[in-house]
Structure 1
Amino acid sequence: MGQWPTGESFYSMRLVPGRSLHDAIAEAKTLERWDLATDQELAALNEHSGDVRSLDISADGKRLVSASDDQTVRLWDLESGQSRVLRGHQGPVEAVRFSPDGRQVLSLGADGTIRIWPDDLPSSPEALRAWLQTVDAPSPGDD
């Protein structure tokens, strides 16, 4: 576990490729975001209802994927902060990664399954935002 200069702990950290930004998992349901060049905190991503255990950032630095104890994977558009929930695990999700080409998301669940999410996930920020707008409204409990 790491620690910020402020004394707060975090589980994991990823640098955004080619940028002075990074995202880290705080000791809760929140993904903290920082601009390392200015040492400023950016808008947090906090739609998981359970502790976040893993994250990965796409090679282009525009998308983030997170895994949580709430049994979900979330795909985030870093510019807008919007996310799309991916469900299928029957227990906490322990690890998540983008495929090398960024077209698939792989997740490992405590239920013993590895899931490969559809390769039709949009990769451009504009297409991802449009796709996020077309999905059904969250079901109760998706706060």
Structure 2
Amino acid sequence: MRLWDGETGALLQTLEGHSGSVSSVAFSADGQRLASASIDRTLASASYDCIVRLWDGETDALLQTLEGYSGSISSIAFSADGQRLASASHDRTVRLWDGEIGALL
């Protein structure tokens, strides 16, 4: 994923970690966390995993990988206070996560 300056268009950062296409991204309102959804290829088994990755918004470090989907993730969004993260999947589920540590609620 690439992060761009919205005013100047300058490239700010490239985040690496997904091995497949990214379908959705969301920043928490305070900018402290970034979530990204993808269908990543599992190298060991040559299969695909639908996952959400939770990133630190300041250091760009990967904080958590949220797994358990059986279908691709179409949308992710943080609550206004950043305490929760919702994800919607083609497996017909909506999951609610702790927005800070990534625990399934």
With structure 2 as the length reference, what TM-score do the two structures score?
A: 0.76
Residue 113 (structure 1) aligned with residue 93 (structure 2): yes
Residue 99 (structure 1) aligned with residue 69 (structure 2): no
Query: Could you tell me which amino acid in structure 2 is paired with residue 86 of structure 1?
Result: L
Is the 1:96–1:106 Cα contact (8 Å) retained in structure 2? yes
* Structure 1 Cα separation of the partners of residues 36 and 75 of structure 2: 8
Residue 81 (structure 1) aligned with residue 51 (structure 2): no
Residue 42 (structure 1) aligned with residue 12 (structure 2): yes
Secondary structure of the 1:112 match is coil
**Among 35, 46, 53, the residue aligned to 1:65:** 35
Deviation for aligned residue 1:76: 0.8
Percent identity of paired positions between Structure 1 and Structure 2: 41
* Structure 2 Cα separation of the partners of residues 102 and 36 of structure 1: 21
Higher RCO (C-alpha 8 Å, min separation 6): 2
Query: Could you tell me which amino acid in structure 1 is paired with residue 33 of structure 2?
Result: R
Give deviations 1:23-46, integer Å, cap 9, x for gaps: xxxxxxxx2111244442122112
* Structure 1 Cα separation of the partners of residues 33 and 99 of structure 2: 14
Taking a change above 3 Å as real, the CA distance of residues 97 and 86 of structure 1, as seen in their structure-2 partners, is same
Give deviations 1:55-105, integer Å, cap 9, x for gaps: 111110121111112300011112211112111111211110001221111
Q: Which has the higher helix share?
A: 1
**Stretches of structure 1 lacking an aligned partner (at least 5 in a row):** 1-30, 123-143
Is the 1:68–1:94 Cα contact (8 Å) retained in structure 2? no
Is the 1:93–1:107 Cα contact (8 Å) retained in structure 2? yes
Taking a change above 3 Å as real, the CA distance of residues 119 and 52 of structure 1, as seen in their structure-2 partners, is closer
Secondary structure of the 1:81 match is coil
With structure 1 as the length reference, what TM-score do the two structures score?
A: 0.58
* Structure 2 Cα separation of the partners of residues 42 and 109 of structure 1: 29
Q: Which has the higher strand share?
A: 2
